[in-house]
A and B are shown apart, each in its own frame.
Chain A
């Protein structure tokens, strides 16, 4: 497909541009979405020597664009462009245009039944009342997808700090490590320090690592790209390109929080496995290159989550990569009380239900365990009262308590606690190079470049 014709055309274009009289008042503007795919000769001085990046709009940009597209539109008083701008992560101008058009069509659809199509004209009083409402926009949002993000899902999570019970230590660490730099990048620039690039959340399963990542993205008003290692791994060659693409997207829609769940399976220690050495090693390498490589990560924070941090490649834990280790522990009593409060907020509780007492009796329960407990209590209430059960009493909770147990054993907790120092040390231990595992015969040459 790339043949003689294109070559001649490029040559012609170059000749024409070079041949222009210096004082001709003619400017050639070219546009592309693949700047890496055009002939370098075109980008030499005197040709297309100026480049302007037209990026994905941020929240205030989206608000401006929405204002432009809704300029001639009768909007209902409840429509808040600010709210729309906040929820349309990753939308570009064309998407926002489509969104307003869809919303208008939605409004028209609403009045369709009232129209007398045979008369050919629309009664003025119907036109007068025709307004695009907030619901129209919400309906349109379901249909219009952001085009910049077709490949990688970007979400705007709606979990706030107050939806998380306990975990105060981890919250504080994430707040100062992520929310602060993403919200005030200038403060860090002024002090000449680099915000942390990556956070590794580790802890027993069910303690709310994903929830924390979502909340931090929401509270720092950043985009949130969530991936699982299974999304990024495939049996095909070149899978590590996926990661490169993920990071490229993240940079485009920055500020972004990239969340990689179960990161241990994506980036296991290199040079240990014998059967399939290359597949995941390349992934680790790409990840390392993206995180501290030449391309500066600006306003992109990576959060990894794992419950088996010891299986991860220690190189990922060195400074400049996952700088901060955040231990997400099982909640203490106060935390459990708050979690119970959150989960039972929509539940009609009997007067005798004492959440403090339940919190007292649920030592080492994780957030997921507590959620399960509440669900079980509700089920017991249903079982007892049948379909018209209308409250959950303490007795149900007691039953649920007997039926459930903490997933985390004291030994597990102890082990995780001890892990933090071990992990940091492991990152600094020099790795065995290549195939020269300990105990192997020493190679004849010290280096392959020596004769």
Chain B
């Protein structure tokens, strides 16, 4: 595969510890073939385009034509795992000014922009990107060039991860932040536009690799490649029931799937939909289904379905008497 023309790479998920670092992991072979050094800036072009710093691959990826991106980068490039993206080497310029704003509507931020600059030093950005502040990386960045190490060892901005939207940069295009950059932090949320969402990605659900794989097969695959199912003549699954103890991340998982498959996400809260007036709750349900069908591809999430669809009454009455425990 020494053909230099190949500049399309398949996207794979980055490891959780790489999440939010602004890195793109490429195979050494590919980097050598395209004149890339560790730390060079690459433009990643999917449906949209974003930028990252190229670094060495994970050992298991050596020689594969994949690029590892984290959840936010995938959202920024408008791609999902398994899609192909174009890679181009670019030279970024130091930004004169970058404006950030919170990417979550419910957050109001007031903080020193200088601290933000320190925490983002060396990062490459384009306007419209969603980026996350990160804590100090204590994973030793083995054999990376010093400028990259410095970028990864930057001090944390806050006590938790905050997702920010790059409102604008001056000059436009791909820039990086250095000491001379003027950083402005807006307090109010601003809509990133483009349908990008700073929502939950697969990187944000931990400890359920298998579950994610299952759910991706059932939901994301049919959403992204409906033609696959049409050709096979089978209907993709219509409903998936997630069950498990409270607090294990069922809602989070559903959000992540919706976000990563770029589907519209509708939520029905079981207890909330129960209206008082006759027929009201059914009407609400119908309306949401209609909306979701119109907005397809979409995912409709019914939380706590047991509250709207409990078992038949017979058992309940008996249960009180304590006889039919298995009910």
Residues of A within 8 A of B (CB): 2, 5-6, 8-10, 12-13, 16-17, 20-35, 37-40, 42-43, 46-58, 60-68, 70-75, 77, 92-95, 100-101, 104, 107-108, 121, 124, 127-128, 130, 132, 147-148, 237-238, 241, 252
B-chain residues with CB within 8 Å of residue A71 when the two chains form the complex: 19-20, 132, 134-135, 161
Is B246 on the interface with A (CB-CB < 8 A)?
yes
- If A10-B308, A31-B303, A73-B159 touch, whether A65 touches B247 (CB-CB below 8 Å) is no
- Interchain CA distance A61-B257 in the complex, whole Å: 19
Question: A93 and B247: CB pair below 8 A?
Answer: yes
A-chain residues with CB within 8 Å of residue B223 when the two chains form the complex: 25, 27
Question: B248 and A92: CB pair below 8 A?
Answer: yes
B-chain residues with CB within 8 Å of residue A55 when the two chains form the complex: 244-245, 248
- If A16-B285, A27-B299, A72-B156 touch, whether A94 touches B242 (CB-CB below 8 Å) is no
**Closest B-chain residue to A60, C-beta based?**
B207
Is B254 on the interface with A (CB-CB < 8 A)?
yes
B-chain residues with CB within 8 Å of residue A104 when the two chains form the complex: 159-160
Question: B325 and A38: CB pair below 8 A?
Answer: no
- Interchain CA distance A24-B299 in the complex, whole Å: 11
Closest 4 A-B residue pairs measured CB to CB?
Answer: A61-B207, A72-B161, A94-B247, A64-B206
A-chain residues with CB within 8 Å of residue B245 when the two chains form the complex: 33, 55-56, 92, 147-148, 252
Question: B247 and A147: CB pair below 8 A?
Answer: yes
**Closest A-chain residue to B215, C-beta based?**
A52
**Closest A-chain residue to B245, C-beta based?**
A148
- Interchain CA distance A158-B218 in the complex, whole Å: 42
Question: B300 and A28: CB pair below 8 A?
Answer: yes
Question: B207 and A52: CB pair below 8 A?
Answer: no
- Interchain CA distance A51-B282 in the complex, whole Å: 25
Is B306 on the interface with A (CB-CB < 8 A)?
yes
Q: What are 22 of the A-B contact pairs (CB < 8 Å)?
A: A2-B316, A9-B273, A25-B226, A26-B296, A31-B242, A33-B245, A50-B241, A52-B218, A53-B211, A54-B208, A58-B207, A62-B207, A64-B16, A68-B19, A70-B135, A73-B160, A75-B135, A94-B248, A124-B114, A127-B112, A127-B115, A147-B246
Question: B309 and A39: CB pair below 8 A?
Answer: yes
Question: A27 and B236: CB pair below 8 A?
Answer: yes
Which residue of B115, B243, B293 is within 8 Å of A32 (Cβ)?
B243
Question: A54 and B238: CB pair below 8 A?
Answer: no
Question: A46 and B238: CB pair below 8 A?
Answer: yes
Is B304 on the interface with A (CB-CB < 8 A)?
yes
Q: How far is the CB of A129 from chain B (nearest CB, A)?
A: 10
- Interchain CA distance A31-B230 in the complex, whole Å: 28
Question: A28 and B302: CB pair below 8 A?
Answer: yes
- Interchain CA distance A33-B171 in the complex, whole Å: 51
- Interchain CA distance A147-B185 in the complex, whole Å: 38
Is B237 on the interface with A (CB-CB < 8 A)?
yes
**Closest A-chain residue to B219, C-beta based?**
A27
A-chain residues with CB within 8 Å of residue B300 when the two chains form the complex: 26-29
Which residue of A2, A49, A94 is within 8 Å of B246 (Cβ)?
A94
Is B250 on the interface with A (CB-CB < 8 A)?
yes
Question: A238 and B208: CB pair below 8 A?
Answer: no
Question: B238 and A53: CB pair below 8 A?
Answer: no
- Interchain CA distance A100-B160 in the complex, whole Å: 9
- Interchain CA distance A8-B218 in the complex, whole Å: 29
B-chain residues with CB within 8 Å of residue A40 when the two chains form the complex: 311
Q: How far is the CB of B241 from chain A (nearest CB, A)?
A: 4
New contact pairs (17) apart from A30-B242, A40-B311, A52-B214, CB-CB < 8 Å: A6-B309, A20-B293, A22-B235, A25-B263, A25-B296, A26-B299, A26-B300, A27-B222, A29-B300, A30-B303, A35-B241, A52-B215, A54-B211, A54-B244, A57-B207, A67-B17, A73-B156
Question: A31 and B304: CB pair below 8 A?
Answer: yes
**Closest B-chain residue to A147, C-beta based?**
B247
Question: B135 and A50: CB pair below 8 A?
Answer: no
A-chain residues with CB within 8 Å of residue B207 when the two chains form the complex: 57-58, 60-65, 93
Chain B positions 171-197 with a Cβ under 8 Å from a chain A Cβ = none
Which residue of A43, A93, A94, A107 is within 8 Å of B241 (Cβ)?
A43
Q: How far is the CB of A186 from chain B (nearest CB, A)?
A: 16
- Interchain CA distance A23-B229 in the complex, whole Å: 9
A-chain residues with CB within 8 Å of residue B310 when the two chains form the complex: 2, 6, 37-39
- If A31-B250, A71-B19 touch, whether A54 touches B134 (CB-CB below 8 Å) is no
Is B63 on the interface with A (CB-CB < 8 A)?
no
Q: How far is the CB of B209 from chain A (nearest CB, A)?
A: 8
- If A2-B310, A29-B254, A54-B249 touch, whether A38 touches B305 (CB-CB below 8 Å) is yes
Which residue of B19, B248, B252, B306 is within 8 Å of A37 (Cβ)?
B306
**For A33, A92, A252, which residue has the most chain B Cβ atoms within 10 angstroms?**
A33
- Interchain CA distance A298-B238 in the complex, whole Å: 31
Is B58 on the interface with A (CB-CB < 8 A)?
no
Is B274 on the interface with A (CB-CB < 8 A)?
yes
B-chain residues with CB within 8 Å of residue A75 when the two chains form the complex: 135-136, 138
Question: A8 and B238: CB pair below 8 A?
Answer: no
Chain B positions 271-300 with a Cβ under 8 Å from a chain A Cβ = 273-274, 279, 281-282, 285-286, 289, 292-293, 296-300
- If A32-B305, A42-B309 touch, whether A27 touches B161 (CB-CB below 8 Å) is no
Which residue of B132, B203, B292, B309 is within 8 Å of A38 (Cβ)?
B309
- Interchain CA distance A39-B214 in the complex, whole Å: 24
Chain B positions 309-327 with a Cβ under 8 Å from a chain A Cβ = 309-313, 316, 322, 325
Question: A5 and B274: CB pair below 8 A?
Answer: yes
**Closest A-chain residue to B203, C-beta based?**
A68
Question: A17 and B239: CB pair below 8 A?
Answer: yes
**For A28, A67, A107, which residue has the most chain B Cβ atoms within 10 angstroms?**
A28
- If A31-B302, A92-B249, A104-B159 touch, whether A50 touches B308 (CB-CB below 8 Å) is no
Question: B206 and A68: CB pair below 8 A?
Answer: yes
Chain B positions 122-166 with a Cβ under 8 Å from a chain A Cβ = 132-136, 138, 155-162
B-chain residues with CB within 8 Å of residue A66 when the two chains form the complex: 206
- If A13-B308, A71-B135 touch, whether A50 touches B218 (CB-CB below 8 Å) is yes
A-chain residues with CB within 8 Å of residue B305 when the two chains form the complex: 30-32, 38, 42
**For B19, B241, B257, which residue has the most chain A Cβ atoms within 10 angstroms?**
B241
- Interchain CA distance A39-B313 in the complex, whole Å: 10
Question: A49 and B135: CB pair below 8 A?
Answer: no
Which residue of A38, A52, A107 is within 8 Å of B211 (Cβ)?
A52
**Closest A-chain residue to B285, C-beta based?**
A12
- Interchain CA distance A22-B247 in the complex, whole Å: 33
Q: How far is the CB of B133 from chain A (nearest CB, A)?
A: 5
Q: How far is the CB of B137 from chain A (nearest CB, A)?
A: 10
**Closest A-chain residue to B230, C-beta based?**
A23
A-chain residues with CB within 8 Å of residue B325 when the two chains form the complex: 238, 241
- Interchain CA distance A272-B9 in the complex, whole Å: 75
- Interchain CA distance A93-B256 in the complex, whole Å: 15
